[in-house]
Every structure is written in structure tokens, then in C-alpha cells.
Chains A and B, each alone.
Chain A
Amino acid sequence: MSHPVLVLGGGPAGLSAAHALASAGQKVLLVDKADRLGGAPILSGYARLVPSGEWAKDAIGGMVDRAAQHPLVEVKAGCTVTQFSGTPGDFVAVLSSGERRPVAAAILCTGFTHFDSVNKPEWGFGTYPDVVTTTQVEQMMSSGKGVRCPSDGRVPERVAILLCVGSRDRQIGREWCSKICCTVSANIAMEIREELPKCSVYIYYMDIRTFGLYEGAYYWESQEKHRVKYIKARIAEVTSNGQRLIVKGEDTLVKRPITIPFDMVVHAIGMDPNVDNLMIASTFGVKLEKYGHVQKAPSYSAMGGTSRPGVFVAGAATGPETIDDSIAQGQSAAMAAIASLKAPVAVAAE
């Protein structure tokens, strides 16, 4: 095990994988295209995380320090991998700096790209300044400025959160559920109600998928304690009457059309495959599944495999994923990588 393991991407999955490898005595080369580590929670300025309630900069920041300060971890920020060749235990990665680095294995922790709401123009993003995304609301909260209407800085009295923006939508080729947006939206709704008790928050949904234990802490809590209202309606369009935004749709439970005024409309944006996935797949010689995420090998025998031996994958690179699960997958991919290096020749059962 003289060569380091290449970890591509320094978000929750990559940080977790790097730390796990280093803890087991394995050298790590941690490469991130951004100029700093942390991934989406840090680069996009998330506020309080689900389910811990910790600020992203503290929780993920701690992971960054833990990995980056480990003597066995070498960090290359602002850097990408341009070529990757060789066989398990003996790969060569060429970095964008021109360096050729021998590596024993690679773990792809390349994450996702936030859905760009401009691709759903009927919902007003890019047309009306007070139509924002969940990421923007997270930034309003994490920056300490508070939730305000971008157009004039006023405190909103009524906020609508539209779920499934860029998810579960065949019209734009996003057939998957992004998994986290229901819970994140319920969390944001509760935070808005806490910061602005006079502001009413309505969530427009097709289904609510606050899965597992999030049901109680987010879906029920948001209604029972914070009086957030959930309305089953897929919104047709967001327009404006000059003063306020107008949300149009059908309230399916009363079978009536609605045109309701709001001060702010929040798109609960989904998780797209990383925009760089075609390049990554071609560089590393791994397959993508039909929507463009990195294809996972069956996980019954070993976690984190891809279509190429010696190249592993973890986190949202494989599809929409929570932070906690990305961290778990980072660790299990690290375990799989170490196991593959210790016993490089797997004998198939006849």
C-alpha cells in the first residue's frame, strides 16, 4: 500500500472517505475542483442541517479540518483529474496541474449539481426577483441577514414553498425523487416561522416524502408546533399583479382552482447529476446510469463499487442522497477500497 488512494471531491462523502482511509493508516490524495473543501453544504452556504440542527459551517467545517489536518491526507484544491489509467493497485492519475500521480484506487465523491430553476420558467424564477430557491433561503439564514424579499428587502407576510421543482418531472427529464427536498422544505418552513412568527408559510406538494424518522421531527412538527400549512396542488404558474406574486393551481382536495397572492415563492430545487459527470465517466472509464449518475455495482457483496474494478463511488454522485447517508457511504467506500488493496485478487466461486 505504498500509493495513496485518490478521493475525488471534498464534500461530506469525500471528507468521510478521506478520514476513514487515513484513520486506517492509508495515505490519501484528496482532490477538489473548488478552491476549498466542504462541497455543497459549504460552497452553497447551507444553514442548519437535517437532522442535527447544527450549522453547516460548523458540522461540515469540522469534517474539513479533521480530514485536511490528518498527516496522511494530501489536499489538492482547485484541481481536477484529466487522465486516469492503469489497473487496481497501480493507477496513474494526471492532475490539471500536469502532475502525474500514482494511486492505488480511486473513490468518486463528485456529488450533484443543484437543479437550475430557470428550466421551469412557468414558476417565475429569473422573471420575478421574489421567486427564490431553497438554496437562496438557506443563504439568507446562514448569512444572518434573515429571510427577506429580494426585490425590496421587505419582511414577507406570506411564503409559498413549491415542492418537486426539478424532481419527478418527465417534462424536463428529471424522473427521480430528490429525496431531501420535502424534509429540507419542512425545516426551512419551521425556521421561517420561528424567525418571522407573523409570516404564514404554505407548502404546495404532490406527495410528502419526509421519510423515516423525519416524519415526526419535520412533517408533524412543522404542522403541530409551527402551523405550517400543506396544500396538495401542483402549481400551474407563478405570475405577479405588480405588488405580489400570484400562485395559480388547483387545490385538488376541494377540486377548486386557486390564484393566491404571496410575497415570496420558494422553489424546493432537486438534485441533478453533477454537470461534469460525462467528463468524469469518460476520464475514469466508469458507466453512468440512465439519468447520468455514476452507476453503482450491486452492493450485496461490497459497497461503493462502480463498473470498473479499483474505482469506487460514494454519496450523491450515485443519485440524490442525504448528507448523513453520503457520510456513511464515504466510509463504506473507504472500507471497500482498503479491502480491495489488501486482497487484490478476488477468486470467483465456481
Chain B
Amino acid sequence: MPIHEQSLIRPENLVRQDKLTIDGVDVSGDWSTFIETRVVTDYNEAMQDEIAALPGGEYIHRCWQCGSCTNSCTVNAINPDFNPRYWIYLIRLGMEEELLRDKDIIWQCVSCNKCTYACPRDVVPEGVMKATAHWLELKGHTRPSTATVFDEVFSDQVFATGRIEEGRLMRGFFARTGQSLTQEWLVGMIRGLVSRLPVGLLMRLGLAAVLHPRTGGWGRTRQAIADYVAEQDASRRTALHLPPAPEARR
């Protein structure tokens, strides 16, 4: 029988023995090719709730699979494998291994929100994409994205001092993402700044870089933020069935 859906045969499902003899008949190589089953044998009912517990994913259960999100999607027009409708379905029914096959493209959402406006059921697919990318990171399926690293360095500094000091922020971000501080464009930009900025401002920048000043009376605010972050983090970890954080971020 011809196989009508070649696309359904996945390389990892092809089983082939280089040496195989059955009842004295040599069926080595292509003669022993089998295709492993694609049957879904159960639903992971926790998955929809896990995504729904993350910001943006709250309304995923409303989806009725009309495909408006995929049809309106900016990224899908360029990369047909980027299919929000399909991922929402996989999440809703808990087909985790199927979703993980696309883990390296889900982050490509550009947050244009065309899907959000097209969706007849207010699923907010853009939010679901964000929540899904977040879920993949928290579960350890993908490494934190560059944007996530920047957010962490940025917010860590704000939480610590109540302020942003750009030089420190950039140094921290570049260090965490393994980027050199002596890149030509960066050196050029800093030279330009130094030659153009007023001396008084430069001195204040320099002092801030050395002394890390804090906002006055920041201690109590800092503690309140730290408590809130720890609480949010803990509730997400519980919702995602993850062990408690080894040490809370502060």
C-alpha cells in the first residue's frame, strides 16, 4: 500500500538492522526497515494547567482550534513550522514529546499580537507562546533566552539597589552571555560617549560605577520585592511540579 502521508514518517521512528537474519533469510539493511508506531497512548492532563499557571497562558483552555492564530501569524508566514494552533492543541491534550520537537522554534514569536486580535475566543495566543517559552525554560528543555538573561541581570540590579547603572548592567549581561567587552562597536561607542559627554556627567557616571549607590531607604522595599519574587517563583515551581529553588534569587 502506498504511504500517502510521507511527512508522518519520522527518521527517529525508522528502525533498520544492519545485520538481521530471520529463519535463515538475510534481511539486513533496507529489508529489515520497520516504522515504529505513532500512536498516542495517553494524555498528560497536567500540561494545560502548567501552562495556564504562567503569565499569558491563562486562557489556553478556551481554544477550539479554528486556526486564526496560525493564519494571522507573522512568523508562520516565514516559517511554516511555527504553528501556534498546533502547539496549543498539543498542550491542551498533554502531548509533551510532540511539543518538545518544536522547542527550538517556539521562542521565535515576535509578539506582534495579530493572533490576539484574530482569536474569536480570546485565548490570547501571544501570551500562550510567551508562557510556553517560559515553561520550556523552567522545565530545562531550553536554555534561558538572551532576553531572559538580560531581564534577570536588569531586575537583579534594580532589586539590589533600586537603581540602574548602565555600565554595570552591560558588564553583567555581557559576562552572563559570554560576549567580549572589547568588541569593536562597543569600544567605539564608549569612546564616542567619553569624547562628547560633559565632564561633570562623566564623573558622576564613574563614581556610580565604583560606589554602586542605592536609593535611600531601599532596605524595606528590597525585602518586600524579594519576598514577592520568592513567593511567585515558589508558586510557579509548585504549579510546574518542580522541586523548590535551591536558593531564592535576591
Binding site for B on A (CB under 8 A): 200, 202, 220, 223-224, 227, 229-232, 251, 253-261
Question: Which residues of A lie under 8 Å from residue B5 when comparing CB positions?
Answer: 255
Binding site for A on B (CB under 8 A): 5, 8, 37-43, 45, 48, 61-62, 64-65, 86, 89-90, 92-93, 95, 98, 121
User: Which chain A residue lies CB-closest to B40?
Assistant: A258
**Known contacts A231-B93, A254-B98, A260 near B41 by CB under 8 Å:** yes
Query: B40 near A256 (CB under 8 angstroms)?
Result: yes
Bound complex: CA of A256 vs CA of B97, how far in Å? 13
Query: A229 near B40 (CB under 8 angstroms)?
Result: no
Nearest CB in chain B: distance from A161 CB, A: 15
Bound complex: CA of A259 vs CA of B39, how far in Å? 7
**Known contacts A253-B89, A254-B86, A255-B8, A230 near B64 by CB under 8 Å:** yes
Residue in B39, B48, B92, B98 whose beta carbon sits within 8 Å of that of A258 in the complex: B39
Query: B65 near A224 (CB under 8 angstroms)?
Result: no
Q: Is chain A's interface secondary structure helix, strand, loop, or mixed overall? A: strand
Question: Which residues of A lie under 8 Å from residue B39 when comparing CB positions?
Answer: 256-259
Q: A232-B65, A260-B40 are in contact. List 5 more A-B contacts (CB 8 A).
A: A230-B64, A231-B93, A253-B86, A254-B90, A260-B43
Question: Which residues of A lie under 8 Å from residue B48 when comparing CB positions?
Answer: 227
Bound complex: CA of A231 vs CA of B98, how far in Å? 17
Residue in B37, B42, B62, B93 whose beta carbon sits within 8 Å of that of A224 in the complex: B62
Residue in A229, A255, A260 whose beta carbon sits within 8 Å of that of B92 in the complex: A229
Bound complex: CA of A231 vs CA of B37, how far in Å? 21
Report which residue of B5, B40, B48, B98 has the largest number of chain A beta carbons within 10 angstroms of its beta carbon: B40
User: Which chain B residue lies CB-closest to A157?
Assistant: B45
Residue in A223, A256, A258, A259 whose beta carbon sits within 8 Å of that of B61 in the complex: A223
Report which residue of B61, B90, B98 has the largest number of chain A beta carbons within 10 angstroms of its beta carbon: B61
User: Which chain B residue lies CB-closest to A261?
Assistant: B42
Bound complex: CA of A259 vs CA of B41, how far in Å? 5
Bound complex: CA of A155 vs CA of B41, how far in Å? 22
Residue in A220, A232, A257 whose beta carbon sits within 8 Å of that of B38 in the complex: A257
Query: A200 near B64 (CB under 8 angstroms)?
Result: no
Query: B41 near A200 (CB under 8 angstroms)?
Result: no
Nearest CB in chain A: distance from B36 CB, A: 12
Bound complex: CA of A256 vs CA of B61, how far in Å? 21
Bound complex: CA of A260 vs CA of B98, how far in Å? 16
Query: A260 near B42 (CB under 8 angstroms)?
Result: yes
Question: Which residues of A lie under 8 Å from residue B42 when comparing CB positions?
Answer: 260-261
- Can you list the 6 inter-chain pairs with the closest CB atoms, starting with the nearest? A257-B39, A258-B40, A256-B38, A224-B62, A256-B40, A227-B61
Question: Which residues of B lie under 8 Å from residue A200 when comparing CB positions?
Answer: 43, 45
Query: B93 near A229 (CB under 8 angstroms)?
Result: yes
Query: A224 near B61 (CB under 8 angstroms)?
Result: yes
Question: Which residues of B lie under 8 Å from residue A260 when comparing CB positions?
Answer: 40-43
Q: Give me 30 A-to-B residue pairs in the complex whose CB atoms sit less than 8 angstroms apart, sorted by A's number.
A: A220-B62, A220-B121, A223-B61, A223-B64, A224-B61, A227-B48, A227-B61, A229-B92, A229-B93, A230-B64, A231-B93, A251-B40, A253-B65, A253-B89, A254-B86, A254-B90, A255-B8, A256-B38, A256-B40, A257-B38, A257-B39, A257-B40, A258-B39, A258-B40, A258-B41, A259-B39, A259-B40, A259-B41, A260-B41, A261-B42
Bound complex: CA of A224 vs CA of B93, how far in Å? 15
Question: Which residues of B lie under 8 Å from residue A261 when comparing CB positions?
Answer: 42
Question: Which residues of A lie under 8 Å from residue B90 when comparing CB positions?
Answer: 254
Question: Which residues of A lie under 8 Å from residue B64 when comparing CB positions?
Answer: 223, 230
User: Which chain A residue lies CB-closest to B62?
Assistant: A224
Bound complex: CA of A223 vs CA of B62, how far in Å? 6
Question: Which residues of A lie under 8 Å from residue B98 when comparing CB positions?
Answer: 254
Bound complex: CA of A232 vs CA of B66, how far in Å? 12
Nearest CB in chain A: distance from B85 CB, A: 9
User: Which chain A residue lies CB-closest to B65?
Assistant: A253
Bound complex: CA of A227 vs CA of B8, how far in Å? 30
Question: Which residues of A lie under 8 Å from residue B62 when comparing CB positions?
Answer: 220, 223-224
Question: Which residues of A lie under 8 Å from residue B45 when comparing CB positions?
Answer: 200
User: Which chain A residue lies CB-closest to B5?
Assistant: A255
Nearest CB in chain A: distance from B174 CB, A: 42
Nearest CB in chain A: distance from B10 CB, A: 11
Bound complex: CA of A258 vs CA of B61, how far in Å? 21
